Amino acid sequence: MMSEKKNKFYIKTWGCQMNVLDGDKIASLLESSGYEKTNSLDEANIILLNTCSVREGPENKVFSELYRLKAFKEKELEILGVVGCVAQQEKEKIFQKAPFVDIVMGPRSIMHLPELIKQAKYQKALKVSSDEDTLLFPPEILNRNSKTKASITVMEGCNKRCSYCIVPETRGREVSRPLSSIIEEVKMLIDRGYKEFELLGQNVNCYKDGKNNFVDLLDEVSSIKGVKRLRFITSHPKHFPIEAAKLIAERNNICKYLHIPMQAGSSRILKLMKRQYDQPFYLELIDKIRKIVPEIALSSDFIVGFPTECEEDFEETIKCVNLIKFDTIYAFKYSPRPNTLASKMESVPKNIAKERLNRLLVTQHEIQKELFQSFVGKTLQILLEGESKKGNQYTGRTDCNKIVNFTSEKVLKINNFYNVKITRSLVHSLIGEL
């Protein structure tokens, strides 16, 4: 029985694109070190939880999952590991809270995992990441789960100190990869058949490798033959360079889509959040971007119920959402994070935050419904991402990041571009025909 299970690992990932890519890196590294991936908990002798701590919700899920997995440790599970942001945040405290855990490893320490697994056979293994840890991961061994979009880490960490955010603590200070290594990786991925690329960084506009800045990065990568679509995430309003908007307008292969979190409409709240911009600055920036790229699709994150937020503050968020008309927003209830400035401020009652979140979502729902409706009758180019088991039902994504579900009598190929006529719209997706 034991030998059958030997060297099989199971990994579960929560959180942002960066964490998803880290999950791919971990799986690839273990596979290249002789371990085999399994999708069955029962089969695995190594289970890894790749965690997110940006809000309390996902963090709590990690602990409830750990207690569920305790039963596996009591049977044949050899190694249970917590990696990623919760690991970095809680460090050895995880061993205290859950003594049956064997490995705790921060998000920048992926390359150490094989040795930690060996160590964990004899004793608890702890590796906390530091800013000196390398961002370089051997690109030739990295197999991405997505066969249509290749995400690439270009920088990691964040030097901002937004008062609510745990990320600077878990992902460390900003470190950028040399542009040459990014270009090499993109070229290798083109040879493997990828057409769409996404440059990842917590504060991607602050990319800086000594010689090149974010605009150079966009310019160079979009100039590589074979890059059919290029995206980047996440932008910061204070650091988004307007030259980047010019490149988006000029280059057909840079997607006309920008995720640029506003977080709140009220300038008073933005100041408490330490976002380093106010409402007029954000609105002007969006104006400038839209003058250069009128058709750009915009998305944003918002936090509601930030400490001391009153009705008037919240109405500023609603006002901005109505004014800007984002294509999508991601809205969250404020969640206090350990050792952050905001966690010491006066909180807003939970029921009020919940009610405000609902109001914000209803407001966006109406805007989005109308916006998506305006695509009906148009023909859009999509990159095919998936097909239904029955065939003839397909799903893809537009340049502006909208999901399109459509039918085709012809058999289509994943990772190819097709033109789809939009016949109907829903709130979060479009429906069409080839």
The residue ranges that bind ligand SF4 (CB under 6 A) are 158, 160, 162, 165, 167-168, 202-203, 236
Interacting partner of 256 out of ligand 5AD, ligand SF4, none (Cβ under 5 to 8 A depending on kind): none
Least distance CB 414 / ligand SF4 (angstroms): 33
Interacting partner of 334 out of ligand 5AD, ligand SF4, none (Cβ under 5 to 8 A depending on kind): ligand 5AD
Which residues would be at the binding site for ligand 5AD (CB under 6 A)? 54-55, 164-165, 261, 263, 301, 303, 332, 334-335, 337
Least distance CB 179 / ligand SF4 (angstroms): 22
Interacting partner of 50 out of ligand 5AD, ligand SF4, none (Cβ under 5 to 8 A depending on kind): none
Interacting partner of 335 out of ligand SF4, ligand 5AD, none (Cβ under 5 to 8 A depending on kind): ligand 5AD
User: Cβ closer to ligand SF4: 124 or 160?
Assistant: 160
- Contact assessment for residue 105 and residue 83, using Cβ atoms and an 8 Å cutoff: yes
User: Cβ closer to ligand 5AD: 56 or 65?
Assistant: 56
- Contact assessment for residue 106 and residue 87, using Cβ atoms and an 8 Å cutoff: yes
Interacting partner of 430 out of ligand 5AD, ligand SF4, none (Cβ under 5 to 8 A depending on kind): none
User: Cβ closer to ligand SF4: 86 or 142?
Assistant: 86
Least distance CB 31 / ligand 5AD (angstroms): 29
The amino acid at 119: Q
List helix spans (H) across 33-173: 56-74, 85-90, 93-97, 113-120, 167-171
User: Cβ closer to ligand SF4: 5 or 239?
Assistant: 239
Q: How far apart are CA 162 and CA 271, in angstroms?
A: 10
Secondary structure (H, E, C), the chain: CHHHHCCEEEEEECCCHHHHHHHHHHHHHHHHCCCEECCCCCCCCEEEEEECCCCHHHHHHHHHHHHHHHHHHHCCCCEEEEEEHHHHHHCCHHHHHCCCCCEEECCCCHHHHHHHHHHHCCCCEEECCCCCCCCCCCHHHCCCCCCCEEEEECEECCCCCCCCCCHHHHHCCCEECCHHHHHHHHHHHHHCCCCEEEEECCCHHHCECCCCEHHHHHHHHHCCCCCCEEEEECCCCCCCCHHHHHHHHHCCCECCEEECCCECCCHHHHHHCCCCCCHHHHHHHHHHHHHHCCCCEEEEEEEECCCCCCHHHHHHHHHHHHHHCCCEEEEEECCCCCCCCHHHCCCCCHHHHHHHHHHHHHHHHHHHHHHHHCCCCCEEEEEEEEECCCCCEEEEEECCCCEEEEECCCCCCCCCEEEEEEEEECCCEEEEEC
Measured from each CB, the residue nearest to ligand 5AD is 301
Least distance CB 349 / ligand 5AD (angstroms): 16
User: Cβ closer to ligand SF4: 305 or 432?
Assistant: 305
Least distance CB 299 / ligand SF4 (angstroms): 15
Interacting partner of 202 out of ligand 5AD, ligand SF4, none (Cβ under 5 to 8 A depending on kind): ligand SF4
User: Cβ closer to ligand 5AD: 108 or 337?
Assistant: 337
Interacting partner of 332 out of ligand 5AD, ligand SF4, none (Cβ under 5 to 8 A depending on kind): ligand 5AD
User: Cβ closer to ligand 5AD: 172 or 432?
Assistant: 172
Cα angle 153-163-22, degrees, rounded to a multiple of 5:
20
Interacting partner of 320 out of ligand 5AD, ligand SF4, none (Cβ under 5 to 8 A depending on kind): none
Interacting partner of 55 out of ligand 5AD, ligand SF4, none (Cβ under 5 to 8 A depending on kind): ligand 5AD
Least distance CB 305 / ligand 5AD (angstroms): 9
Q: What is the DSSP letter of 112?
A: G
Least distance CB 409 / ligand SF4 (angstroms): 46
Interacting partner of 168 out of ligand 5AD, ligand SF4, none (Cβ under 5 to 8 A depending on kind): ligand SF4
The amino acid at 378: K
User: Cβ closer to ligand 5AD: 50 or 335?
Assistant: 335
Least distance CB 263 / ligand SF4 (angstroms): 7
Least distance CB 336 / ligand 5AD (angstroms): 7
User: Cβ closer to ligand SF4: 168 or 432?
Assistant: 168
